[in-house]
Structure 1
Amino acid sequence: MRKPLDPTTDGWLCGFAGMLIFSGSLPATRLAVQTLDPLFLTTLRATIAGALAIALLLAFREARPARRELLPLAIVALGVVVGFPLLTALALRHVNAAHATVFIGLLPLSTALFGVLRGGERPQPMFWVFSAAGSLAVVAFALRHGVDASPLGDALMLGSIVVCGLGYAEGARLSKRLGGWQVISWALVLSLPVMAPLAWWLRPASFATVSAASWWGLGYVSLFSMLIGFVFWYRGLALGGIAGVGQLQLLQPFFAFVLAAVLLHEQVPVAMIGVTAAVIGCVAGARRFGRSPAPVVAQRM
């Protein structure tokens, strides 16, 4: 009989799967905003994912969250359902997907910080060395290659990283009680009464000018980026630790660069590959020192 995976290993594998799914988010968003308004895209993707979330919750007869869980769910919704998608969609009007993806290298540090503030985690001191080293490599690249390109686009990307880190940490904390897919599903449902009317109000006068590529991009960010990716990601953060597993996002630029080059025919400077290679080594170190002293609490899938 095959020996089951320990919770930490399971968490890192789930986190890796979630990271792979999220790596397609920025290239897909870049495709979508070519012929769709960023505000409409943000509201429509949340509306589509919210409708799917309702179907899932009804199919599995999930109990409603407790009243004390509504505020944390609202924070998750504001961070990952509204804030990150909207800010990145706006940013991608000013910078290309490959450039924006570099900023994802800051997301692990943001997630770790909120993991300490909201999740009560206490990584070992060496963890911060590896996490900061990876993040600083990304910042150095941005300062050299990004600020002159579009300060507004960079500012929007930095804002998206802050709100997303908060949403990740808050969702991981809730996942230990509610389950990974349940957290993102309830967050989507909570935002649906606002997002659905806005999507209807912001709809374009005609969809005739919307390209097929934009529809494909919308489909990906609605189904995978907004729902399926979080099933794996929140489970990974809850089982493997918010700070530690969150460092996997340092690898996301590498996969996103490849997708941006293949799907969008964007040029990927050698410096981008160099930055990615530098931060890969930081993930291993962060994994070793990222565990909190507190024991892992088993949670629902």
Structure 2
Amino acid sequence: MRDKSSATLASPIAVGHPPSTGAWRGTLLAGLGVLSFSGSLPGTAFAMEGFDPYLVAIGRAVVAVVAAAVSLLVARAPLLPPREHLGSYVVISAGVVFGFPIFSGLALAAGADTSHAAVVVGLLPAATAVFAVLRGGERPRPLFWVACALGALSITVFTVSRGGGHVTAGDLLMVGALLSAAVGYTEGGRLARRTPGWRVISYALVVAAPLTVPVTVVLALTTEVRPSAVSLAGFAYVSLISMFLGFIPWYAGLAMGGIARAGQTQLAQPLLTMAWAWLLLGEPFDPVTLAAALAVLVCVAMSQRARS
């Protein structure tokens, strides 16, 4: 039997009504998740100073699964997900445990700077909204789609302009990353309607463990490892915050506020990531990049006023 708190998290916003207090709470929770995710690209860049990109991408899940297993044991919850939802957890794992970390890490290794990659991620809310309709059964209103399209257009114009009029290899890798994340976010948001968000990401990590653990061991033994305080700090961030703790408010927010609507808060992630890149990596904050990020922030505000 579910407790009352789980039932509250599982209640999606009512279709055809203005955003309720619960929907706005979902938006705030999702925003907290976005704040956590905004440090992922700088953290990955730091981690790759001492570790192979694949080791960073896969190894973070091994550290995160330890935290997930401890959380499940402390809560006296089953260590394995329900069999009827196993397929969904495989999809989540493919998207957020493997897809996004691998593609984004390779994009950075291919030469994409953190700020550029961050703004490409601004397309993620649009992709998530599409999957929310196809898989989550949500039906946003026209104003929502206008805001979503404007945000996607702003990001596309920025990306092409920064690539000298063409799409770069790093851009294509980041598209793979955002599509992977969109699928994982949508499937996780669906499950979070009836399962607390922390258990959703915990089970996704557990399901992936039979692959992530041996692959991490092989990579640790066969790739060059040059640990430093900076690379270890970056690896710790992407392992504990990006791969585990950030998903707790994120999935709860998607379930409470609606996957499509609450997911639009991730349009703010590029600006947050660029702020971290400027503060931690010394990357420039040029006017074009800032203008693109501010444009998507306006689109976030528009999307949050739209009814579902």
TM over 0.5: yes
Q: Cα–Cα, structure 1 residues 179 and 123, in superposed 2: closer, same or farther, change >3 Å?
A: same
How many angstroms does 1:207 deviate by? 6.9
Which amino acid counterpart does residue 88 of structure 1 have in structure 2? Answer: S
Percent identity of paired positions between Structure 1 and Structure 2:
42
User: What SS does the aligned partner of 1:217 have?
Assistant: helix
- The residue number in structure 2 matching 1:134 is 151
Cα distance in 2, alignment partners of residues 225 and 217 from structure 1: 10
- The residue number in structure 2 matching 1:49 is 64
Root-mean-square deviation (CA, aligned residues, Å) is 1.8
Q: How big is each residue's C-alpha offset from its partner over 1:117-176, in whole Å with a ceiling of 9 and x where there is no partner?
A: 110000001211100101110100000103669711111001111110010000000011
Matched, 1:181 2:198: yes
The partner residue of 1:71 within 77, 87, 107 is 87
- The residue number in structure 2 matching 1:33 is 48
- The residue number in structure 2 matching 1:247 is 264
Q: How big is each residue's C-alpha offset from its partner over 1:218-246, in whole Å with a ceiling of 9 and x where there is no partner?
A: 00000000001000100000000111111
Cα distance in 2, alignment partners of residues 75 and 144 from structure 1: 34
Matched residue pairs, number?
288
The partner residue of 2:212 within 163, 184, 195 is 195
Instruction: Give the TM-score of the pair, scaled to structure 2.
Output: 0.90
Cα distance in 1, alignment partners of residues 218 and 81 from structure 2: 30
- The residue number in structure 2 matching 1:17 is 32
Matched, 1:121 2:130: no
Matched, 1:162 2:194: no
Cα distance in 1, alignment partners of residues 77 and 65 from structure 2: 15
Which amino acid counterpart does residue 24 of structure 1 have in structure 2? Answer: G
Instruction: Give the TM-score of the pair, scaled to structure 1.
Output: 0.92
How many angstroms does 1:6 deviate by? 3.2
Cα distance in 1, alignment partners of residues 167 and 23 from structure 2: 40
How many angstroms does 1:42 deviate by? 1.4
Which amino acid counterpart does residue 99 of structure 1 have in structure 2? Answer: H
User: What SS does the aligned partner of 1:73 have?
Assistant: helix
Cα distance in 2, alignment partners of residues 208 and 234 from structure 1: 33
Cα distance in 1, alignment partners of residues 225 and 103 from structure 2: 26
Cα distance in 2, alignment partners of residues 86 and 56 from structure 1: 25
How many angstroms does 1:10 deviate by? 1.6
Q: Cα–Cα, structure 1 residues 187 and 147, in superposed 2: closer, same or farther, change >3 Å?
A: farther
Contact 1:95 1:150 in 2 (8 A): no
Q: How big is each residue's C-alpha offset from its partner over 1:78-136, in whole Å with a ceiling of 9 and x where there is no partner?
A: 00011000100110112111110011110000110111111000000121110010111
Contact 1:147 1:154 in 2 (8 A): no
Unaligned regions of 5+ residues in structure 2, if any? 1-7, 9-19
Cα distance in 2, alignment partners of residues 136 and 204 from structure 1: 44
How many angstroms does 1:280 deviate by? 1.1
Mean CA deviation greater in 26-35 or 252-261: 26-35
Unaligned regions of 5+ residues in structure 1, if any? 292-301
Which amino acid counterpart does residue 85 of structure 2 have in structure 1? Answer: E
- The residue number in structure 1 matching 2:304 is 287
How many angstroms does 1:290 deviate by? 4.9
User: What SS does the aligned partner of 1:178 have?
Assistant: coil
